[in-house]
């Protein structure tokens, strides 16, 4: 795969590229500017040539591909029965909120964190309970002392864990997850673990599936997974939700069936999604290894560029994901003007940190899953705009 190849995505109804004017470089929303692997593309083309796109089901071939992936990559032996399916992780979070909590209940989140969590909680009549992460020496840590206090709230019912964490890029260690899990078990708090970025981990770090640690954790958790980030398949809308606890699984499926077409598993699959995901789980390990290496080099390029040209912008070095959390606060630009400056002066669209919750002010999230020339042009624009701002 030639990850350096620039692919024109304009005019393709791309949320990333067609949201802004053509003079803007968009490095905001979390999809990649790389083509998906050839096995996925070829299998979609072959299936499309068949010409009939009726209702599909989850064939044993698909189950085997999913189970093989988790065994191969994480040494996690899944049972077929544990799998539920949704059109995305955010729908799965909404379904979980409806299945396991009641209006007025409080949901713990570890901010700054992926902002659609907030909407899912509030739109379902639940309340956000912040267990904010601590930033120390350029690295975020969980605040377990704060968690132990917040979790005593009698309306606290669920914690949404983001692992790897978006936007800060932490890949939580097994010890951290054990400490978190023990606190939640002791206080009867259900853990919903969003692991959508779990395949995108940099060398030197390892992802631990929360539910794989102990049987207790498996029985007290919902694990949300998808290959949408891994292989750039977000538009195909399929997620695998892992629920080992039968009572929790039945409640989840009952909610799906009340919201979607009632079927055995509640959500009928998109025909091309099944084809694409089967190929991805089965045939694309080498492509993923190459992608991670390229992302690592892009991260190093980003760090070097900022060090040499804009040292005031601090990189919170990620351990996973293709998203990087940048601290712009030393530049002294007021938070309300930072996004406007980047968009209108630098002509670069990033994700404003304030949207990710408390502590996000002065930060921006940048997506480095793009050709290096695109990343270089975006950083060069920011550098030039800052020089002009200083001169004025």
* Residue that is last in its domain, among 256, 283, 310: 283
Per-residue pLDDT, 336: 78
Whether residues 177 and 108 fall in one domain: yes
Examine residue 238 and state whether it is found in any structural domain, yes or no: yes
DSSP class per residue in 112-154: S--THHHHHHHHTT-EEEE---EEETTEEE--HHHHHHHTTST
pLDDT exceeds cutoff 60 at 149: yes
Instruction: Locate 43 and state its tokens.
Output: 């299998």
Among 136, 135, 133, 161, which Cα is nearest to 145's?
A: 133
Per-residue pLDDT, 379: 98
HSE-up of residue 152 (Cα within 13 Å, Cβ side): 5
Per-residue pLDDT tens over the stretch 193-229:
999 999 999 999 999 999 999 999 999 999 999 999 9
Among 361, 304, 300, 359, which Cα is nearest to 334's?
A: 361
**What CATH number does the domain containing 384 carry?**
3.90.1150.10
> What kind and span of H or E run contains 103?
none
Average pLDDT over residues 136-140: 94
Examine residue 46 and state whether it is found in any structural domain, yes or no: yes
Categorize the per-residue pLDDT at 364 as very low, low, confident or very high, splitting at 50, 70 and 90. very high
Per-residue pLDDT, 261: 58
Examine residue 4 and state whether it is found in any structural domain, yes or no: no
Per-residue pLDDT, 266: 55
Q: Which residues pair with 218 in a beta bridge?
A: none
Q: What is the mean pLDDT of the chain?
A: 96
Beta strands 239-242; 314-316: pairing state:
unpaired
* Residue that is last in its domain, among 216, 249, 283: 283
Query: Domain of 318?
Result: 25-36+285-391
Number of domains in the chain: 2
Whether residues 350 and 273 fall in one domain: no
pLDDT exceeds cutoff 80 at 59: yes
229 close to 196: Cβ distance less than 8 angstroms: yes
Backbone angles phi, psi at 85, to 5 degrees: -130, 140
Whether residues 160 and 222 fall in one domain: yes
In whole angstroms, what is the distance from residue 279 CA to residue 181 CA? Answer: 34
HSE-up of residue 357 (Cα within 13 Å, Cβ side): 22
Whether residues 270 and 291 fall in one domain: no
Q: Which residues pair with 289 in a beta bridge?
A: none
Beta strands 314-316; 351-352: pairing state:
unpaired
Per-residue pLDDT, 262: 56
Instruction: Locate 378 and state its tokens.
Output: 């975006």
Whether residues 162 and 306 fall in one domain: no
Answering whether pTM is above 0.85, one says yes
109 Cβ contact list (under 8 Å, min separation 6): 117, 118, 121, 128, 129, 130, 131, 159, 160, 357
Backbone angles phi, psi at 346, to 5 degrees: -85, -20
* Residue that is last in its domain, among 283, 306, 335: 283
Per-residue pLDDT tens over the stretch 269-292:
889 999 999 999 999 999 999 999
pLDDT exceeds cutoff 80 at 263: no
Per-residue pLDDT tens over the stretch 170-184:
999 999 999 999 999
CA 22 to chain centroid, in Å, comes to 26
């Amino acid at each position: 795969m030639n990850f350096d190849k620039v692919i024109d995505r304009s005019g393709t109804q791309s949320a990333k590229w067609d949201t802004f004017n053509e003079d803007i470089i968009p490095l905001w929303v979390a999809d990649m500017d790389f083509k998906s692997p050839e096995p996925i593309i070829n299998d979609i083309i072959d299936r499309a040539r068949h010409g009939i796109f009726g209702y599909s089901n989850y064939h044993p071939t698909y189950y085997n591909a999913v189970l093989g992936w988790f065994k191969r990559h994480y040494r996690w032996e899944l049972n077929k029965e544990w799998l539920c399916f949704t059109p995305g992780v955010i729908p799965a979070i909404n379904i979980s909120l409806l299945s396991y909590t009641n209006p007025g209940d409080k949901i713990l989140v570890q901010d700054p964190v992926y902002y659609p969590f907030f909407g899912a909680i509030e739109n379902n009549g639940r309340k956000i309970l912040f267990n904010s992460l601590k930033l120390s020496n350029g690295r975020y840590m969980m605040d377990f002392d704060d968690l132990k206090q917040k979790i005593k709230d009698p309306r606290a019912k669920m914690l949404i864990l983001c692992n790897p964490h978006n936007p800060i890029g932490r890949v939580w260690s097994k010890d951290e997850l054990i400490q978190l899990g023990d606190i939640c078990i002791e206080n009867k708090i259900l853990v919903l673990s969003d692991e959508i970025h779990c395949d995108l981990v940099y060398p030197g770090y390892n992802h631990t599936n929360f539910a794989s640690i102990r049987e207790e954790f498996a029985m007290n958790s919902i694990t949300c997974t998808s290959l949408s980030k891994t292989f750039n398949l977000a538009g195909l809308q399929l997620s695998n939700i892992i629920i080992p606890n039968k009572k929790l699984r039945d409640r989840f499926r009952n909610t799906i069936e009340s919201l979607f077409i009632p079927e055995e598993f509640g959500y009928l699959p998109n025909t091309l999604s099944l084809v694409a995901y089967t190929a991805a789980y089965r045939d694309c390990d080498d492509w993923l290894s190459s992608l991670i290496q390229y992302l690592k080099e892009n991260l190093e390029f980003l760090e070097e560029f900022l060090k040499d040209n804009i040292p005031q912008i601090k990189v919170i070095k990620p351990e996973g994901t293709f998203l990087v959390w940048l601290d712009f606060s030393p530049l002294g630009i007021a938070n309300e003007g930072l996004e406007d400056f980047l968009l209108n002066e630098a002509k670069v669209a990033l994700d404003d940190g304030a949207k990710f919750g408390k502590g996000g002010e002065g930060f921006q999230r940048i997506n480095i899953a793009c050709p290096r020339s695109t990343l270089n042009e975006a950083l060069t624009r920011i550098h030039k705009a800052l020089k002009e701002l200083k001169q004025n």
